[in-house]
A and B are shown apart, each in its own frame.
Chain A
Amino acid sequence: MTSTTQQITEPRITVPLRITPVFAAARNGAYWRLVERNARLFSRIWFVFVSGFFEPFFYLLSIGVGVGSLVSGLNVGGHVYSYASFVGPALMATAAMNGAMADATFNLYFRLKISKLYDSVLVTPMTAMDVALGELTWAMLRGSTYSLAFLVIMWPMGLLHSGWAILAWPMASLVGFAFAGVGMAATTYLRSWIDFEYIQIATMPMFLFSATFFPVERYPDAVGWIVRITPLYQGVAAIRELTLGQLGWQVLIAAVYLGAMGLVGLALAGRRFEKLLLH
Chain B
Amino acid sequence: MSLAGVIRQADYYAVGVRQTWKGAIFSSVLQPVGYLAAMGVGLGTYIDNGGHRAALGGLTYLQFLAPALVAVAATQFAVMECTFPVMGRLVWNKVFHSMVHTPLTAREVVLGQLSYVAVRTAVSCAVFLAVIACFGAIASPWAALIVPGAVLLSLAFSAPLLCYTAWLRTDSGLSVLFRFGFVPAMLFSGSFFPITSLPAGIRWLAYVVPLWHGVDLSRSFASGHVHWLAVLGHVAYLLAWLFVGFWFAARVFTKRLSA
> Which residues of A are interface residues toward B (Cβ below 8 A)?
45, 47-48, 51-52, 54-55, 58-59, 61-63, 66-67, 69-72, 74, 194, 197, 200-201, 204-205, 208-209, 212-214, 218
Contacts and interface: CB of A to CB of B under 8 A. Distances in A.
B34 A208 contact: yes
Q: Is the interface of B mostly helix, strand, loop or mixed?
A: helix
B26 A197 contact: yes
B102 interface: no
Contact of A70 (B35, B37, B175, B193): B193
A240 to B, nearest CB: 16
Contacts of A74: 46
A45 B179 contact: no
B233 interface: no
B141 interface: no
Most chain A CB atoms below 10 A, which of B26, B43, B47, B61: B43
28 contacts: A48-B172, A48-B175, A51-B176, A55-B179, A58-B187, A59-B183, A61-B188, A62-B187, A62-B188, A63-B192, A66-B192, A66-B197, A67-B43, A67-B47, A67-B193, A69-B55, A70-B50, A70-B55, A70-B61, A72-B50, A72-B51, A194-B23, A197-B23, A201-B26, A208-B38, A212-B38, A214-B38, A218-B45
Nearest to B19: A194
A66 B176 contact: no
B255 interface: no
Interface residues of B, number: 36
Given A70-B52, A213-B43, A194 B172 contact: no
A201 B31 CA distance: 9
Contacts of A66: 187-188, 192-193, 197-198
B183 A58 contact: yes
B34 A51 contact: no
Q: Is the interface of A mostly helix, strand, loop or mixed?
A: helix
A70 B38 contact: no
Contacts of A208: 34-35, 37-39
Nearest to A72: B50
Nearest to B23: A197
A70 B40 CA distance: 13
A218 B38 CA distance: 11
Given A62-B192, A208-B35, A51 B42 contact: no
A213 B39 contact: yes
A218 B43 CA distance: 9
Interface in B1-59: 19-20, 23, 26-27, 30-31, 34-35, 37-39, 42-43, 45-47, 50-52, 55-56
B180 A218 contact: no
A204 B27 CA distance: 10
A145 to B, nearest CB: 15
B12 to A, nearest CB: 18
Interface string B158-194: 0000000000000010011001100110011000110
Contact of B176 (A47, A59, A194): A47
Nearest to B185: A58
Contacts of A52: 179
Contacts of B188: 58, 61-62, 66
Contacts of A58: 183-184, 187-188
A223 B61 CA distance: 23
B197 A194 contact: no
A45 B176 CA distance: 11
A58 B184 CA distance: 6
